[in-house]
Amino acid sequence: MPVGCLDGRTGLKSRHYVRTVGARAVRKGLVGTMLLGLVLPLLLLVGGSSASAATLCLPKPDETGCISGTVGSRSDPVAGVDVILRDAQGTDIETVTTEADGKFSFTVTEAGDYFVVLDDESLPDGLEQQPPRAAIAGPDGSVKVTANLGSAVSPIVEVRDEDYDAGGDSFTDQIAQSVVNGLRLGLLLALASLGLSLIYGTTGLSNFSHAELVTLGGMVAYGLVNLAGMNLWLGIVATTIVCAAVGYLQDRLLWQPLRRRGLGLTQMMIVTIGLALAAQYAYQYFVGASLQKVVVRDFGTTSFGPVTLTNLSFLAMAVAIVAIGLVGFVLVRTRIGQATRAVSDNPALAAASGIDVDKIIRLVWTAAAGLAGLAGVLYALVISNGIRWDTGMQILLLLFAAVTLGGLGTAFGAFVGSIIIGLVVELAGPLGAPGDLKYAVALAILIVLLLVRPQGILGRAERVG
């Protein structure tokens, strides 16, 4: 069903833009406006397709069907463009020229596949038809559309700057925006992966339930800020504290007793998987399966040259940098940090030299959970635009990729790995990876790196083996 397909497309694409790419699209210059401009009317079309199509073409049951759409966007339509309709064999059937509103419409009397293409000659200078996605691509850059009698369908005909791929301003702008988005994602990933890395370093445990601590952060903040109406900043602090407490209790009630029992690391890893499962479904049980916003208020955006981010994003990045810096300072400069690193190096030796290993590990769990919770709030605020039971689960593999990339168990490595993963994920799109694949690209890079340098970028060879 083309309408269904259309629906899927606009729904998915627009959410994508709003949520993960955020304000980037606005700043892609003309292209961005165009794309967004196309998506928005399509969205509206879905809602009121019968009404808008009715003005141009009336589908009659079992007699006629409509193929209609807009070139450009409602706010910025492209007039005077010749739109060509071809039949399944590729012969031109009809050509219409768009009016000032950019709309075109064909009436067909047979159901079946048709192709819609824009006449390049008639397009204003500097614009070209964007090649359609493979799934709807017809011959010669046309868009395939399946018409049914008695209904109207809208082919997705998009236009863009001719220099879109030629490395013009818009492309560099796009890259600049992606780099900043990548740094933002990277910093938040770093916040979460630091804890994962510290836990791995001190206990050897790959904590598969770490992502659920991230989700927990978002959930607690949702409860405190959105539901209970707490001030956002207070809420963030409170969330961090609550999550840290959860980490403390987790170690006190679960991990320490298990370490005492001498449970193997593989077994402990499976315990974390069980915990993750239980936690995910517990979130669904108590909060439901839909996306919940932490704040409803809009904080506005700020631009620096080609880069635009929400103000909240800048604040989140600042908070992340401060928190990461603090962890780094503690690790490098304080006695507790030294003790932590000693435990990471060799727990037996550390214990022999008078360090209370259990206390250090408890501290690490507490800090790791706190950081993950903080990351969860910030992530929900500026990246996923809300929190859902699987928000954390979706970035778990990115966290593991970051930690492994940087070198398992080295805190600084986790930071570097996170930034790299963040950049890779955000840059994958503009550099040609289809939208859904950007996470896959990050994971593929991880696999390739393990081939070349199994100890990770910053891992010391001695630590691995």
Contact positions vs another protein (CB under 8 A): 8-9, 12, 133-135, 206, 258, 261-264, 266-271, 273-282, 284-285, 289, 346, 348-349, 393, 397, 400-401, 404, 408, 434, 436-437, 439-440, 443-444, 446-447, 450-451, 453-455, 461-465
Shortest distance in whole angstroms from residue 201 CB to another protein: 13
CB closer to another protein out of 39 and 66: 39
CB closer to another protein out of 376 and 409: 409
Shortest distance in whole angstroms from residue 462 CB to another protein: 5
CA dist., res. 367 & res. 245, Å (int): 9
Closest CA to 306 of 428, 426, 176: 176
Shortest distance in whole angstroms from residue 262 CB to another protein: 8
Phi, psi values for residue 309, rounded to 5°: -135, 160
Shortest distance in whole angstroms from residue 172 CB to another protein: 26
Shortest distance in whole angstroms from residue 396 CB to another protein: 9
CB closer to another protein out of 156 and 225: 156
**394 contacts 185 by C-beta, under 8 angstroms:** no
CB closer to another protein out of 47 and 264: 264
CB closer to another protein out of 44 and 263: 263
CB closer to another protein out of 126 and 434: 434
CB closer to another protein out of 229 and 465: 465
Shortest distance in whole angstroms from residue 136 CB to another protein: 9
CB closer to another protein out of 61 and 354: 354
Shortest distance in whole angstroms from residue 379 CB to another protein: 19
